[in-house]
Each structure stands twice: as structure tokens, then as C-alpha cells.
Amino acid sequence: MTYVVLAPEHPLVDSCTTSKQADAVAKLRASASQATDIERMSSEGSLEKRGAFTGSYCVNHSMGNRYRSTSRITCSASYGTGAIMAVPAEDERDYDFAVAHALPIIRTVATPEGFTGVPTPMTA
């Protein structure tokens, strides 16, 4: 995990958003409110416009790490809890978003020597 994502309508977004980031988060929420869940989950559109830094960080107390808290259109409150941990080295959508926003990407599994792409999910 290298960042945390909250759906724009998640109840914690208000308490996580700093005054400096309020305009960006408000624009994101307005954009999200105009889209269906299917549109929100699609890979269409600019990744820069599909997320906003809340200005806050989450802390993993067992590890002592701080993680950037981001609100992202592609996270829907109607799916699961509306809050996810992003693992960009192992998930294509998280990877693309991390690259677009210059967020860290930490490999969590060994890849073949010389492999530089995003790993694909294992199939049964």
C-alpha cells in the first residue's frame, strides 16, 4: 500500500480535506455526482482529473508509515466500504493513477528478471 483512496461521497472526506485542498475535492465531488458507477469505473478520461489529494495522511500504526489520502472518482461508495488501500505495483488502475499523480510504487511480489511492466493478475 502506498496511498489510501476514499470515494468522493465517503463520510470521512469532509474531515480529511484541508482548506487548501477544499476546492479540488469539491470539483471532484461535483464531477463524480454527474457520472454513473459504470462511467466512474471506466478507464476513460484524464487521470489527473479523476482524483484529488485531500491534504491529509493516514498512518499505519503497526508499521509507522504515513500514506497520502486521496479522493478518487473510480472509487464508489456503493462498492464495498468506499475506502481502499492502493497497491499500485499490483493493480493496473492504482498503478496508472500513481504514475499520473507521482505517487510511490513499491513492488510487493518478485517479478522475473528484466520485467518492467505491471504484473497481471494470476489466473486459476
Q: Is the pLDDT of residue 74 over 60?
A: yes
pLDDT for 44 equals 61
Q: Is the pLDDT of residue 111 over 60?
A: yes
Predicted TM-score (pTM) of the model is 0.73
Which tens digits make up the pLDDT trace of 87-99?
888 888 888 888 8
Domains of the chain: 3-100 (3.90.740.10)
pLDDT for 22 equals 95
Contacts by residues 86-89 (CB-CB < 8 Å, ≥ 24 positions apart): 86/1, 86/2, 86/3, 86/4, 86/5, 87/1, 87/2, 88/2, 88/3, 89/118, 89/119
Which tens digits make up the pLDDT trace of 24-64?
999 989 988 887 777 777 666 555 557 889 999 988 777 77
Q: Is the pLDDT of residue 82 over 90?
A: no
* Phi, psi for residue 105 in degrees, rounded to 5: -130, 115
pLDDT band at 124 (very low <50, low <70, confident <90, very high): very low
Chain mean pLDDT for the chain: 80
pLDDT for 37 equals 74
